[in-house]
Structure formats: C-alpha cells, structure tokens
Amino acid sequence: MCWLLVVLGVALGASIGSFLGVVVSRVPKGQSIVSPPSRCESCDRQLTAVDNVPLVSWLALRGRCRTCGATIPARFFLIELAGAAIGGAVGALLCSAI
Ligand SMILES: [Zn+2]
C-alpha cells in the first residue's frame, strides 16, 4: 500500500503544479486564474481535457500546441514536474511514518 501513497502524491503534486503554472502565467498579466479556461496563448484554442493532463500532455505534444504548433513554454512542464517530485516525496515520507 505504500506505493499507492507515492503514486497519489505524484498525481496530486503534478496537479497542484499545473495549477501553479496557470497562476504564474496569468497573475503577472492581471488575468483571472479561473476564467477563461486553459487555452493556447498563440491561437487561443481552448484546451481539451486530453491536452490538460499534467506532465503527460506536454510530453505527448512534445511541447507544442496541437492546433497551431506554437511552442508551449517548458516552464509549465517543469513546474508540474517539481510538484510531482514534491508530492512523491511527501507520499514517501508518509509511508515511512506509517
Ligand atoms: Zn495554438
């Protein structure tokens, strides 16, 4: 069962990292972090659920928009990766405490 805590920690951490990526991208521009939904900054196409899976989507799309091919900044992937690492570490710590 210990591995489940690590997997859940990675998934939760990557999701939190994804949200933080939105915050880092929008707050300096004075934009809402709630609306509009995630979209390509180049062609303005709203991202689908498949395009929004933390870490996996960026890798599957090779860091490019599915529609226009514009580069998706690596910072989104790196923030999600850092969140996943922190979440996994927390999960592992919880395992060792049990
Ligand atoms: Zn695009």
- Whether residue 42 contacts residue 69, with contact meaning beta carbons closer than 8 Å, is answered with no
Output the CA 87–ligand 1 centroid distance in Å. 30
Q: Is a pLDDT exceeding 90 seen at residue 98?
A: no
Q: If pLDDT is split at 50, 70 and 90, which confidence band does 1 have?
A: confident
Output the CA 58–ligand 1 centroid distance in Å. 13
Output the CA 71–ligand 1 centroid distance in Å. 8
Alpha-carbon separation of residue 82 from 19, 43, 59, 65 (angstroms) = 12, 28, 15, 22
How much is the pTM? Answer: 0.89
Output the CA 51–ligand 1 centroid distance in Å. 11
pLDDT in tens, 9-45: 999 999 999 999 999 999 999 999 999 999 998 999 9
Q: Which residue has the tokens 């196409």?
A: 45
- Whether residue 25 contacts residue 18, with contact meaning beta carbons closer than 8 Å, is answered with no
b/e 59-68 (16+ beta carbons within 10 angstroms → b): eeeeeebbee
